[in-house]
Amino acid sequence: MQHQDQRKKSPKDMEFFTEHGDANRYKILEIIGKGSYGVVCSAIDTQTGEKVAIKKIKDIFEHSSDAIRILREIKLLRLLRHPDIVEIKRIMLPSSRRDFRDIYVVFELMESDLHQVIKANDDLTHEHHRFFLYQMLRALKYMHTANVYHRDLKPKNILANANCKLKICDFGLARVAFNDAPTAIFWTDYVATRWYRAPELCGSFSSKYTPAIDIWSIGCIFVEVLTGKPLFPGKSIVHQLDLITDLLGTPSADTISGVRNEKARKYLAGMRKKHPMPFAEKFPKADPASLNLLKRLLAFDPKDRPTAEEALADPYFKGLAKFEREPSCQPISKLEFEFERRRVTKEDIRELIFREILEYHPQLLKDYMAGNDGMNFLYPSAIGHFRQQFAYLEENDGKSGPVIPPQRKHTSLPRSTVTSSTIPPKTQPNASLFDNRQNTKEMATGVISEVISGNLSKVSQPPPHMPNGIKHYLQNLLI
């Protein structure tokens, strides 16, 4: 009876996803992530056969700050098109630009994230370490040449696939610096999980930002890849500074003066003298060449950290690729982020998000730009079927009904929690690696195939199904 009741949709329920074929295009599989924002489901694009993830973001206008964060993220992911940054494939179209409350964003499907990879694999090779760091820095170079600072880099915000591919995600806290602004920008809000937060930001909620804050975070993440453990798991700001100085030693008076928070400055100034610990002693199993670069990434003084481009030129990456060929991005126009500089109402934000949605519907965008205000569409609607699938999954612990084949996979998107699952052989080339009888750790390890589980050095050629770009990089790794 409950299943039948779900078929009874009110006119208000039918106001979303009315572009012809939009919802029918995707076959929903299962819930793969849940959080305060809403739900993420895996799906198949029936037009291309591609596996995707559809993120339902609910009640986006309930709080203006959340709506602005969503607007910022979808805008940046449209503007930052790069192989190492997660891609939005499509955003579903609302029938009314004035009344919608939820949005459905179609992402490329990634199998896991770097946090899960680190947990499940204690035998990553030097080749893995190098390739992972190179991809992260390559994405950072692209972002920073666009004057975009991520500000919340951590392993959970770096997605991973079984072919060793990484992609940075979750740009909700990112900011854009503009050419007419100072090189060090002040922004006021929470930035970065404490463990990955640069020391100059410790205890500060209104700080000067430079690209060096992201470089520090990447250094912390790289150590976690090397050792399997967070480098600076501080329980408080003071504890965080203690852990940092235990490794790096006490900073100079000049460096301390650059710490924004007064209490943090006083604490560092009054700290007993500590000598830096040799990195080779702290990380005895690491490639010595990697430690030379790591020292630069984790310089206490942000002025001593390299840019992403300088880091890519480090001898550690010799033979991996030509750093000078890695793409840069044109600076982003100030007009794209005018909403950050003025007071905006919820209706202003709604209109701006609607405008972003139209970027994925070119003909309607053309009509919109031409001044056609009749944006209540009359195409056949598939919203009832589409929403029913989401609702059914939410009410049945993420498990699909009889009309939805139980194709499952461990995956990751910006989210609070993730579930583990499997995919049958017909849709997954590495299906033999997936077994629903595995325990949690074995399952996570299986998802990151033998390429990531430590056997890269034994592989003479990349798998034939691997994308050409990844083949190129792995072939370099195997030389």
Express each pLDDT in 254-285 by its tens digit.
999 888 888 899 999 999 999 999 999 999 99
The mean-pLDDT minimum among 165-179, 272-286, 371-385, 413-427 falls in 413-427
- Kindly tell me if the per-residue pLDDT of 182 is higher than 60: no
Catalytic position from the list 113, 152, 170, 214: 152
- Kindly tell me if the per-residue pLDDT of 47 is higher than 60: yes
Annotated binding site for ATP: 56
Q: Check residue 85 and report its DSSP letter.
A: B
Distance, in Å, from the CA atom of 432 to the CA atom of 420, rounded to the nearest integer, reads: 16
Q: Which pLDDT score, from 0 to 100, does residue 342 have? A: 86
Q: Which pLDDT score, from 0 to 100, does residue 141 have? A: 96
**pLDDT band for position 444 (50/70/90)?**
very low
**pLDDT band for position 83 (50/70/90)?**
very high
**pLDDT band for position 24 (50/70/90)?**
confident
Q: Is 254 a catalytic residue?
A: no
Annotated binding site: 56
What average pLDDT score do residues 6-30 get?
Answer: 55
**pLDDT band for position 375 (50/70/90)?**
low
The answer to whether 317 and 24 have CB atoms below 8 angstroms apart is no
What average pLDDT score do residues 86-98 get?
Answer: 87
H, E, C per residue of 348-393? HHHHHHHHHHHCCCHHHHHHHHCCCCCCCCCCCCCHHHHHHHHHHH
The answer to whether 67 and 348 have CB atoms below 8 angstroms apart is no
Considering the chain, what is the average pLDDT of its residues?
Answer: 77
Domains of the chain, start order: 2-110+337-418 (3.30.200.20), 113-160+180-325 (1.10.510.10)
- Kindly tell me if the per-residue pLDDT of 14 is higher than 50: no
The answer to whether 245 and 274 have CB atoms below 8 angstroms apart is yes
Q: Who wins on pLDDT, 454 or 39?
A: 39
Q: Report pLDDT digits (tens) over 56-67.
A: 999 999 999 899
Q: Who wins on pLDDT, 11 or 74?
A: 74
- Kindly tell me if the per-residue pLDDT of 441 is higher than 50: no
Q: Which pLDDT score, from 0 to 100, does residue 278 have? A: 97
- Kindly tell me if the per-residue pLDDT of 187 is higher than 90: no
Distance, in Å, from the CA atom of 79 to the CA atom of 174, rounded to the nearest integer, reads: 13
**What is the percent of the chain where pLDDT is above 70?**
70
Q: Which pLDDT score, from 0 to 100, does residue 212 have? A: 96
Chain Cα centroid distance, residue 368: 31
Q: Which pLDDT score, from 0 to 100, does residue 10 have? A: 38
